[in-house]
Structure 1
Amino acid sequence: MHLQHHTADEILAHLPPALAHRLRDDDPGTAADGHGGLARRSFLKLATASGFALGAYPMLAQAQDGKAAPAAAGLKAFQQPAAFVKIARDGVVTVTVNRLEFGQGVHTGLAMVLAEELDADWSRVRAVHGDANMAYADPAFGMHITGGSTSMKHSYAQYRELGARTRAMLVAAAAKKWGVPASSLATARSVVIGPGGRRLGYGALADAAMQMPVPEQVVLKDPKRFKLIGQPVTRLDAQAKSSGKQDFGIDVRLPGLLTAVLAHPPVFGSKLAALDDSAARAVPGVKAVLRVPLHDGGEGVAVVAEGYWAAKQGRDALKPQWDDSGREKVDSAKQLASYRELARKTGHVKHDADMAPLAGAPNRISAEFVFPYLAHAPMEPLNCTVQITGQGADAKAQLWVGTQMPGTDAGAAARVLGIKPENVTMQVQMAGGGFGRRAILSSDYVVEACSVARAAQAAGLSAPVRTLWSREDDVRGGYYRPMHVHRAEIGFDAQGNVLAWDHVIVGQSIMAGTFFEPMMVKNGVDDTAVEGMGEPYKVPMRLSAHHPKHNVPVLWWRSVGSTHTGYVMETLIDDIARATKQDPVAYRMKLMDDKAVRHRAALQLAVDKSGYGKKTLEAGRAWGVAVHESFSTVVAYVVEASVVDGTPKLHQVTAGVHCNLAVNPKSVEAQMQGGALMGLSMCLPGAAITLKDGVVEQGNFNDFVVPRITDMPAIAVHIVPSADAPTGVGEPGVPPLAPAFANAIASLTGKPLRELPFKLG
């Protein structure tokens, strides 16, 4: 179904909140700068011109009422069961999942959704990755992407329909074989059941079923009949991962495989001035030392060897001299000083409320917040294996890589290798984390791996090459969560009514320079930098932003802008409650917008389950509360914390989660646990990335701190019941943790924490 077959509001309902908001607001002639914005009718043209086709999938199976979902005249690739379901003769059902599995449980969740409508025997269901085929593009975005907590949100309807279509084809095949009406047949646990108790397993029917016409319309189950959806199901990959048997991209083994390790320039974008590689070439196992171009115009040196250790030893033996002339050498201390200066001036305006009441407000809060660069630091460092075969027009390439954007990365590989795009095959691998680092529009590590493979081939090495980053490469390799400074001036009365809130944010734009810029940067403000500000409270806010440019690559980091905006909003709300001697929960409930029904439900659930206000805490402990919506899901945390020997300590976390229908409550629980732990990581001293003379100062877990098992609090996760179509849970668990923790510490010390990581001194 084409884009124009739907109303604008229907289409916008399937886009990320910031993007949908951006397009809703864009009506020519209404922009604050007087020039108008990107009209909604221009969106498709822009998207196509930017290098990807926007595909708005049919608004099918959205409702939970089991009614027939109207299909398009001619199904799209992402609606065809053949691309997603394989049923072996032994009855094993293999579901192809259109998202990268890197810890969030999507292989289990989407397989559950399809299996539910298929009436499959769950004990015989398996899941595998898709590839760069357009059938596996996000059905709302029309591009390959795992991110923005959209996997379940965007593919829930899709996978229900895929399961229902497959089931209908199996039933049609059985009806034809038995010569009975399809309406007389039923299904259960991968078996078609006919009159008189006749039974045929799906495995016996699979070949015939795939020859049946694909139905354009299907009737979906009444949710009351769900057997899988909504149940706590153990993940399909749990046994392999917990036993150490799961292979990841880093584990790829191919005949004759060589491993490459790169020396990257210490200052981003620098080039080689000179190189002494004699010692590197003398290392046993080293096959070649290659100068290769990098994605940012810089240059690196690849040492290709028989195994990682030889390659690393060879790299350590290199004696490069770098030319960093013309490259900015960022210094974190100087950068912070400049950000603080900018924060005192109104930037590009996002919201422009009347600030006149600020001068006469009986109570004032002036606050400055500092947030550092953050590395993604997934447990599996970046890696990509490339095999080139053939020559000239017949050349082909295969890539083995854990990528959140296989289509984008395949296109980048084709350009670097000089190979036709149709001759590039992506073998998407299980990934050991990513948090956004494997979804990068520059395809930096894939470009790097392809540059190495091409140079190796030119040097006479015909073997596949695995380019592997060390932990130090990963921490120093750029694409950080941007550094930010916030400045707030808030006026309020004795009852806590906010009279005026003047807020300035300073930080690099993630979207500037990408094909998302025309959609996501409006009037000079990157929507990802300000998302969540003001929400869900009734506060008159003037919100503006500055986006200085620096020679530090930046990228989304799990929960994107909410990593800092959620902290600022929820600690300042607590500050006002404290200043006006109000209970922070009651104050939030009073200040929330009338539409914040889900916020209230999540917060109340967390409060009720935690015993807040009723349970007597241990001596030296205090409550902390925060609630925040990101990616259409609301998470509230009520925590218990203390200060032990001058160090903040988090003891107990109770979560209230409103993600609409929880497809797999176990996955929701796991994502909240992981999100809370990642939120805690922002609070720990040593969790910052800093630069001196353009060089990143951190390199490994000895100087870039992540939480250890001893830091992990007890976490109880509670889900607000809902039958509405699910929203995402991959990221929303991160933002409220740090402010809830900070609010508890402020209760104990009387001093608000304005900087992450925490500084009590």
Structure 2
Amino acid sequence: MTVVAELPGISRRRILGGALATGFVFAFHLPVGAAGPVQKDSAGERFAPNAYIRIDGAGQVTLVMPQVEMGQGIYTAVATLLAEELDADLAKVALEHAPPNEQLYANPLLGVQATGGSTSVRAFWTPLRQAGATARAMLIKAAAEQWQVTPGSCSTTQGTVAHNESGRKLGYGELVEAAGKVSPPRDVALKDPKDFVLIGKPLKRLDTPDKVNGKVIYGIDTMMADLKFATLAQCPVFGGKVAKIDDEAARKISGVRQIIALDDLVAVVGDHMWAAKCGLDAIEITWDEGKNAKVSSKDIWDHLRAASEGAGVVAKSVGDVAKVLNFGETYDASYEMPFLAHATMEPLNCTVHVTPNSCDVWVGTQIIARAQSVAAKVAGLPEDKVTIHQHLLGGGFGRRLEVDMIAAAVRIGSMVEGPVKIVWTREEDIQHDIYRPIYRDSISARLSGDKVIALKYRVAGSSVIARWLPPAFTKGIDIDAVDSAVDMPYDIPNFQVDYIRVEPPAVPTGFWRGVGPNNNVFAIECFIDELARKANKDPIAFRRDMLGKTPRIRHVLDLAAEKSNWGQPLPPRVGRGVSVQPTFNSSIATVVEAEVDAGGDVYLRRVTLAVDCGFTVNPDTVVAQVEGGMIFGLTAALYGEITLEKGRIQQSNFHDYRMLRIDQVPKIDVHLVKSGEAPGGIGEASVVGGPPALRNAIYAATGIALRRLPIDRQLIAEKKSWL
């Protein structure tokens, strides 16, 4: 990792933008603890100045964690924010999952209690620092009153208040009762970044030791007395139902305890997972496949392509695009992105114990309040009778922003006596996902010399926002589907973005890591490379001339060019491709170097990234996220595609829904720009730039302008562009 000099001219006073890059902002107030500033429980008295902080008599600081850890390092990051302003010992900060409570723990940028959209640090950068600073001020005042000195004569460090002149000290635990009687101050000053002792340092992750020694409990690890195990089969055609079953053979299998047939699924309950799986395999199920039984990928693409030619809703318009495009030669192209599954390392699972008067759910979820709500609805219970036991997630990528697995588990659990763990097989997981939508993005542009003077961009695809967050879907615009299109960084005087909502038949769609910017950055950056070639200009020089109004993007582009040796000679059939992106309030430039053989196979040689994600809480975590996200995105570019035939998903496991193998992963160089901007998102932003940069590397190496993912080796071998 390399850290370079601070980008000049960047103000520290910029505040966080809106949710999903739209200005859709929710007000934030520092939530007080529901039980007041002092709480008593079996552990004794605790100081609870707000919803996030608990300090007990032994001085133990507990952070009530508003976001969930799914590998992105957020437990360490948010604990660092709190410990920095509280002046607590980070190594001694304990973490508790926040309970479902949208009033206290809603994500300020999303308006719901959710972990997603690369918002965790962005959303809680100020609130958690305010929480820590407020508690610290209350502790200082409590100590000052005991010593009969002014608060200004006291200081804090490592969980202790000290009187500077006399040297007297009190640990935070000794001040619990007194601090609880102090009125929380308003507008507490936060530390100047020059005084940070934790933020910005490459600190060790708090969750690593227990992951190494096996103490971490994921949802799938849930165990308890009298636990039964279940697995299930759903109709292979979306929307289909169970017609009949023959379970005679299954009932003879040792360990099978119960067979449950619901309208749309069959579950087998056993003493262990193997018994449940063998029992399910032995059942003969006849499905009523319903209206989607003949749907194929071709049908879905034909539907989308036809719909994409219709009239769109204007999401942004600058200048007079129609006038400029109508009077001159235009360059036109369309780009397509396929369905993708999430394929998290931890398959879907949910453990439930349903009784007539209660429902307990053990699960790892990105959206705990909705998990409680759907469980209550399915169980027919008030929400206060449903307890969600949150766990770490073995990958989320947007899949655990959904609650379908919880609804299914409660339905099954309602028919089982005692607790039951429901586990989806990998095949069920992939074939009954809620998939990344397909998109078709159409672009028309006009050049004047080597300048783009007009560009019209149209996105056609499903609206996840309309289903998942209806208040954010207004005037026919899906704010996610046009993300990184409406805020395209290039200075183009005549510019328009349209959106056409097209819902695919049969296939449910949802958020997938990188969300809307995935399709838009791919289409835009591939198109810009084609325009650069038409203008007979170097792709980086062509971009740079249009980035005068976006200095952060221009800076990372220059840095990526320098560090990747852009312009230096390469062997035959090797190319470098570039991509820039203004995603999740972060500015990133990516250069991929790849080799393409005569048979169309692509070999990744090197990836270079320049990243300005604002103030970095932990640079090591940022680098790790960039590396992981790049591998995730390049995997999708090379192999990722979900297809249908006769209403059925054709892929089922990692043999036909491939991952990038370890020996295929190139060297990834990450160069962080030191910046005073408010933090941007990185976990999803890191996925976005690899696919277009890879495609542009192939374009540079072969002259073949691919316009669809995944990379089509046959087209490369046949030396054909996809037109």
- So what's the TM-score if we normalise by structure 1? 0.85
Q: Which residue of 2 aligns with 1:600?
A: 554
Match of residue 15, structure 1, among 13, 18, 25: 18
Change (3 A) 1:254 1:215: farther
Q: Which residue of 2 aligns with 1:336?
A: 301
Shift of 1:749: 0.1
Change (3 A) 1:204 1:693: same
CA contact (8 A) 2:34 2:51 kept: no
Shift of 1:339: 2.6
3-state DSSP of counterpart to 1:250 = helix
Structure 2: how far apart are the matches of 1:730 and 1:737? Answer: 13
The reply on whether 1:448 has 2:383 as its aligned counterpart is no
The reply on whether 1:418 has 2:400 as its aligned counterpart is no
The amino acid across from 1:190 in the alignment is G
Structure 2 unaligned residues grouped into runs of 5+: 1-12, 38-47, 716-723
Shift of 1:397: 1.9
Equivalent positions of 1:708-727 (< 5 A) are 708-727=661-680
- Cα displacement string for residues 695-749 of structure 1 (whole angstroms, at most 9, x for unaligned residues): 1000000010111212212112122222222122121111111111111110010
Match of residue 591, structure 1, among 546, 566, 570: 546
CA contact (8 A) 1:329 1:551 kept: no
Match of residue 260, structure 2, among 243, 265, 290: 290
Structure 2: how far apart are the matches of 1:562 and 1:78? Answer: 42
Equivalent positions of 1:195-594 (< 5 A) are 195-292=165-262, 299-327=264-292, 329-351=294-316, 353-362=320-329, 364-389=330-355, 391=356, 395-440=357-402, 443-456=403-416, 461=417, 463-495=418-450, 497-514=451-468, 516-522=469-475, 524-533=476-485, 535-539=488-492, 540-549=494-503, 550-592=505-547, 594=548
Say how many residue pairs are matched: 684
- Cα displacement string for residues 88-109 of structure 1 (whole angstroms, at most 9, x for unaligned residues): 5554432221011101111100
3-state DSSP of counterpart to 1:320 = strand
Structure 2: how far apart are the matches of 1:216 and 1:291? Answer: 58
3-state DSSP of counterpart to 2:286 = strand
Change (3 A) 1:579 1:324: same
3-state DSSP of counterpart to 2:632 = helix
Match of residue 658, structure 1, among 594, 608, 612: 612
3-state DSSP of counterpart to 2:230 = strand
Q: Which residue of 2 aligns with 1:699?
A: 652
CA contact (8 A) 1:385 1:400 kept: yes
CA contact (8 A) 1:292 1:301 kept: yes
Structure 1: how far apart are the matches of 2:651 and 2:15? Answer: 41
Q: Which residue of 2 aligns with 1:138?
A: 107
The amino acid across from 2:325 in the alignment is L
Structure 1: how far apart are the matches of 2:262 and 2:386? Answer: 21
Change (3 A) 1:618 1:78: farther
Structure 1: how far apart are the matches of 2:557 and 2:146? Answer: 55
Structure 2: how far apart are the matches of 1:726 and 1:513? Answer: 29
Structure 2: how far apart are the matches of 1:172 and 1:498? Answer: 61
CA contact (8 A) 1:361 1:499 kept: no
Structure 1 unaligned residues grouped into runs of 5+: 1-9, 24-53, 59-70, 294-298
Shift of 1:212: 3.8
Q: Which residue of 2 aligns with 1:100?
A: 68
Structure 2: how far apart are the matches of 1:560 and 1:126? Answer: 32
- Cα displacement string for residues 148-181 of structure 1 (whole angstroms, at most 9, x for unaligned residues): 1111111111110111122223223333443433
Shift of 1:625: 0.9
CA contact (8 A) 2:472 2:479 kept: no
CA contact (8 A) 2:116 2:366 kept: yes
- Cα displacement string for residues 639-667 of structure 1 (whole angstroms, at most 9, x for unaligned residues): 22111453112221111112111111111
- Cα displacement string for residues 469-521 of structure 1 (whole angstroms, at most 9, x for unaligned residues): 111111111310011222333332332x224434433322213344x335324
CA contact (8 A) 2:55 2:173 kept: yes
Structure 1: how far apart are the matches of 2:516 and 2:433? Answer: 18
3-state DSSP of counterpart to 1:504 = strand
Structure 1: how far apart are the matches of 2:375 and 2:518? Answer: 32
Structure 1: how far apart are the matches of 2:252 and 2:643? Answer: 35
Structure 1: how far apart are the matches of 2:649 and 2:440? Answer: 20
Shift of 1:343: 3.3
Shift of 1:81: 3.5
Q: Which residue of 2 aligns with 1:728?
A: 681
Percent identity of the aligned residues? Answer: 38
Equivalent positions of 1:672-683 (< 5 A) are 672-683=626-637
Q: Which residue of 1 aligns with 2:117?
A: 148
The amino acid across from 2:168 in the alignment is R
CA contact (8 A) 1:478 1:552 kept: no
CA contact (8 A) 1:355 1:542 kept: no
Equivalent positions of 1:626-641 (< 5 A) are 626-641=579-594
Moved more, 579-588 or 532-541: 532-541
CA contact (8 A) 1:330 1:691 kept: yes
Change (3 A) 1:608 1:182: same
Change (3 A) 1:507 1:55: closer
Match of residue 667, structure 1, among 621, 637, 654: 621
Q: Which residue of 1 aligns with 2:161?
A: 192
The reply on whether 1:689 has 2:642 as its aligned counterpart is yes
Q: Which residue of 1 aligns with 2:6?
A: none
3-state DSSP of counterpart to 1:652 = strand
Structure 2: how far apart are the matches of 1:259 and 1:83? Answer: 36
3-state DSSP of counterpart to 2:545 = helix
Change (3 A) 1:346 1:140: closer
RMSD: 2.5
Change (3 A) 1:600 1:261: same
Shift of 1:616: 4.7
